[in-house]
Structure 1
Amino acid sequence: MVFYTIESLRNKKISIFDTTLRDGEQTPGVSLTFDEKLLIARQLDKLGVDIIEAGFPMSSEGEKASVRKIVDAGLNLKVCGLARVIKSDIDTCLDCGVDMVHTFVSTSDVQRISTIKKSRDEVYSMAIDAVEYIKDHGAKCMFSAMDATRTDADYLINIYKGVESAHCDIINVPDTVGVIVPSAMYKLIGEIAKNVKIPIDVHCHNDFGLAVANSLSAVEAGASQVQVTVNGLGERAGNADLAETVMGLHALYGAKTNIKTKYIVETSHLVERLTEVRMPPTMPIVGDNAFAHESGIHTHGVLVRSDTFEPGVMTPEMVGHKRRIVLGKHAGKHAVKQSLEFAGLQPDDEQLNEIMKRIKDIGDKGKRVTDADLYSIAESIMGNISKSEQAIVLKEVSVMTGNIITPTATVKAIVNGQERLGAHIGVGPVDAALNTVTSILGEYKFKLRDFRIEAISGGSDALAEVLIGVEDEKGRIVSARATNEDIVMASVEALVAAINQLMRKR
């Protein structure tokens, strides 16, 4: 079932313009190297984005070189460069060999008077001259009336008609400060579409959390291209999020894009890692909790049929995500029983009731219930505690660190019945210890999904609680915690506990 709101949008093709490398990099605190930008550009190409705004070449020599190298990277997507309605800006974009020049000028009275100090007639002439100059040099042109949603409507349409007459290829309607509401956006785009026949693109900011809604409303009204960023990055509160916009188009409207949606989560994680802007777990579509369930009613329903408490028109597999059943004080018996069965534990009804009671006790204390907690509780109640079932048994852990010594850890452990000794360096003592544990596992591969350290008592000898989540090559995820006065030991113990449970699941 597709819950499209307008029949004409069903199967309509919408172009995706990604500005992560330009507006996304303007996120306060974000600065990408050229290699990182190229990595993101290649990922966006893999994802199926139609066109990327690679940067603002005139802003610096490094930016210009970066845009030129992305142009020369042999990508399938089109590359766009940003330019003011100034010939030197445009020439710099053209020198980079971009497929399209995106030129802009402020049109709202508040920006026009306060920033560029030009009359309406002067702005109109500057826009026409810039578009003609770009077209005379054989490049595609997109024109933006900056702060369009606060611009006098008659003047806005007049300037768009002017650039259309100058053979502009596409116009952009930016909600530069994120103040329009979806109903007003629908009306604005509809009015522009009546007067201008070239394609309409929108660029929505998220100051009131409406960027995606405004983008979708614009498409309803006739826009054929939307500007987005990965993870909604951008100035202030950011831009329309790529994942939310694309999946809204696909799943709710039945529209089409060239996006290969199975790479959406992969792309989000890459950009999160490179920008170091962490996504909240509740982030729609790509967040850790997007397809996670804890409530007993919800987990029971989802285990029987996934669309009982999920959209149905969008599954985790569509976007490269995984469904998770999370344990906690709201957990139901079905979820707990299934988690135990995955680990080869089959409690009877009485044992299951006692396990449920212990889990809820932990949750009532404000603690997260990890997989290792569950298995430990279950084994205790079922009388199955046995070190012989553990794939890894720690024997010794030692760490050397200091201002003139590269942090180095040595770990001795019994791995699958054989004693192993390993040593490894790291950026710090915890990293070195975790790297060493990884090195002695041999062919068994996993990746760290979550790592948190919290002090749970005061003073320099405070107890440290470490919570770790790991994932194996088949996508199975488990979590574990450990508490110790020594942060390194707590980290190693938590990692070993998680790996033991993960290997048991195998």
Structure 2
Amino acid sequence: MQTVSHKFSPEDIISVVGALDKAGIDIIEIGHGDGLTGSTINYGFSEHSDYDLIKAASSVITKSKLAVLLVPGIGTVEDMEKAKESGITAIRIATHCTEADVAEQHIMAAKDLGLFTVGFLMMAHLTDVDRLVEEALKMESYGADVVYATDSAGAMLPIDVTEKISALKRNLKIPIGHHSHNNLGLAVANSLAAIEAGATYIDGSLSGLGAGAGNTSTETLIAVLNRMNIEHNADLYAAMDASTKGLIPVLEAKGLKPQTNLDAMIMGYAGVYSSFMLHAKKAAKRFDVDVRDILMELGKRKAVGGQEDWIIEVAHELSLEASNK
């Protein structure tokens, strides 16, 4: 919401959230960038109420948990109760990394409401490992289902993520999560470092859309997890479609030009050279097949530059396979 000046409409939410749900995303967070009831003169006004957006999202969700962010001091327990009535099934309660105490009432209330409850320790680069563990243990004691080390400023290096997530994993009984920003171009690398250190919840956003330099690109992260044979519930093609068919048209309608290059990502995922893309797109159109399937098959065949003539053959074979199903 911050990236579009809080201008997502209920119709926009339906388009994007419905596509994310189909892509198998476990938890979908919507709402103002500063959390529930963050629509103020200080943080920027939304064009629509949190509750209208929650109701819109809830109307198209079939599998995913629907979450909002709540920052104590901005959002209240009463706001949380109203959000639950509107359709949320999860909540992420965020404090500064040294101030978990202020979340006690909110985390306990969320659990009483039956919500999947995430403790969000923001700006985690600003404190040392021991203090971060101390604050995370507080959130665990209040009843949080998951605690996140959140790199709100995009300032952490993979070694920092490894150190902090490993310490949380050693000391907490509940799962650990990580949220990256891409200010140093390390969002995916830091997400992988978190997973390798024991995190089981990793945040992403379509096309990396988010405050500042953006967040971990959901589509890119899924591709990398697939390549690493790391188990998850998301579908790569569906996530890419959620971006190109769900999110990007919404952004373009608002006059924004998202900086995405899913073509480059899928070529890296398939392991084929960039010269193949234009030819593959033409063949996909000619034979009515998915260009991604062409590239994946070329990757399996270990095609290299100069073997573009394989593209027609592959597209034709895929078309025949589809017609025989």
Common fold by TM > 0.5: yes
Looking at structure 2, the residues matched to 323 and 211 of structure 1 have their Cα atoms a distance apart, in angstroms, of: 26
Is the Cα contact below 8 Å between 1:87 and 1:130 reproduced in 2?
no
| 1:229 matched to 2:189 | no
| Residues 321 and 148 of structure 1, relative CA distance in 2, 3 Å threshold | farther
Distance 1:128 1:268, change over 3 A: same
Letter of the 1:285 counterpart: M
Mapped pair 1:323 → 2:295 = yes
User: Which residue identity is paired with 1:77?
Assistant: S
Q: How far apart are the structure 1 equivalents of 2:209 and 2:79?
A: 25
CA contact (8 A) 2:123 2:151 kept: yes
1:80 to 61, 64, 67: 67
For residues 340 and 260 of structure 1, the distance between their equivalents in structure 2, rounded to whole angstroms, comes to 26
Structure 1 residue 101: Cα displacement: 1.5
- Counterpart contact for 2:175–2:200, Cα < 8 Å: yes
Aligned twin of 1:107 = 97
1:146 CA drift (Å): 0.9
Amino acid at match of 2:265: I
Unaligned runs of 5+ in 2: 40-47, 281-288, 299-303, 320-325
Larger radius of gyration: 1
Question: Which position in structure 2 is the counterpart of 1:356?
Answer: none
Give the equivalent residue in structure 1 for 2:51.
64
After superposition, the Cα gap between the structure-2 partners of 1:26 and 1:338, relative to the gap in structure 1 and judged at 3 Å, is: same
Partner of 2:43: none
Amino acid at match of 1:294: S
CA distance in 1, matches of 2:259, 2:232: 24
**Greater mean alpha carbon deviation, residues 231-240 or residues 83-92:** 83-92
Q: Structure 1 residues 202, 78: CA separation in 2 closer, same or farther (over 3 Å shift)? A: same
Amino acid at match of 2:79: T
Are the aligned partners of 1:86 and 1:130 in contact in 2 as well (CA < 8 Å)?
Answer: no
Amino acid aligned to 2:213: A
Contact 2:129 2:167 in 1 (8 A): no
1:320-469 mapped onto 2 (5 Å cutoff): 320=292, 322-323=294-295, 335=308
8 Å Cα contact 2:91/2:110 also seen in 1 = yes
Q: Cα gap change, 1:71/1:332 in structure 2, threshold over 3 Å: closer, same or farther?
A: closer
Q: Quickly say closer, same or farther: Cα 1:338–1:85, change in 2 above 3 A.
A: closer
**Deviates most, 166-175 or 259-268:** 259-268
Q: Deviations over 1:216-244 (max 9, x none)?
A: 11010100010000111101110001112
| 1:89 aligned residue | 76
Letter in structure 1 aligned against 2:215: N
SS in 1 for 2:144: coil
Q: Which whole-Å CA distance do the structure 1 matches of 2:248 and 2:122 have between them?
A: 28
Give yes or no for contact 1:51–1:80 (8 Å, CA) kept in 2.
yes
The structure carrying a bigger helix percent of its residues is 2
8 Å contact from structure 1 (residues 31, 275) kept in 2: no
- Pick from 110, 124, 131: which aligns with 1:134? 110
Note if contact 1:265-1:286 (Cα within 8 Å) is conserved in structure 2.
no
Deviation at 1:92, TM superposition (A): 1.8
How many Å separate the matches in 1 of 2:5 and 2:154? 21
Cα distance between partner residues in 1 of 2:207 and 2:93: 25
Q: CA deviation at 1:282?
A: 7.1
Verify the 8 A CA contact 1:205 1:238 in the aligned structure 2. yes
2:14 paired residue number: 38
Partner of 2:190: 214
Q: Give the number of the structure whose residues are more often strand, by fraction.
A: 1
**Contact kept in structure 2, 1:83 and 1:104, CA below 8 Å:** yes
Give the secondary structure class of the aligned counterpart of 1:172: strand
Q: Could you tell me how far 1:204 is from its partner in structure 2?
A: 0.3
What is the distance in 1 between the residues matched to 2:293 and 2:244? 11
Contact 2:14–2:57, Cα closer than 8 Å, also in 1: yes
Shift in Å, 1:260: 1.9
What is the root-mean-square deviation in Å for CA atoms of aligned residues?
A: 3.4
Distance 1:72 1:93, change over 3 A: farther
Quote the residue 2:265 is aligned against: 285
- Percent sequence identity over aligned pairs: 24
Unmatched segments (≥5 aa) in structure 1:
1-24, 109-122, 303-315, 326-330, 343-473, 475-506
Please report how far the alpha carbon of residue 124 of structure 1 lies from its aligned counterpart in structure 2 after TM superposition. Answer: 3.8
| Cα shift at 1:52 | 0.3
Task: Please state whether the residue corresponding to 2:167 is helix, strand or coil.
Answer: helix
For 2:273 and 2:81, the matched residues in 1 are separated by 47
Cα shift at 1:74: 4.6
Contact 1:80 1:99 in 2 (8 A): yes
In 2, are the aligned partners of 1:83 and 1:90 still within 8 Å (CA)?
Answer: no
In 2, are the aligned partners of 1:265 and 1:321 still within 8 Å (CA)?
no
Of residues 193, 198, 204, the one that matches 2:169 is 193
Q: Which residue of 1 aligns with 2:285?
A: none
Q: How many Å apart are 1:87 and its aligned residue?
A: 8.2
Using the alignment, how far apart are the partners of 2:312 and 2:157 within structure 1?
48
Q: Distance in 2 between matches of 1:289 and 1:225?
A: 22
1:264 aligns to what?
A: 239
Partner letter of residue 323 of structure 1? Answer: L
Contact between 1:58 and 1:93, CA under 8 Å: does it hold in 2?
no
Aligned to 1:184: 160
Could you say which residue in structure 1 is the equivalent of 2:230? Answer: 255
CA distance in 1, matches of 2:292, 2:312: 26
Q: Displacement of 1:274 after TM fit? A: 1.5
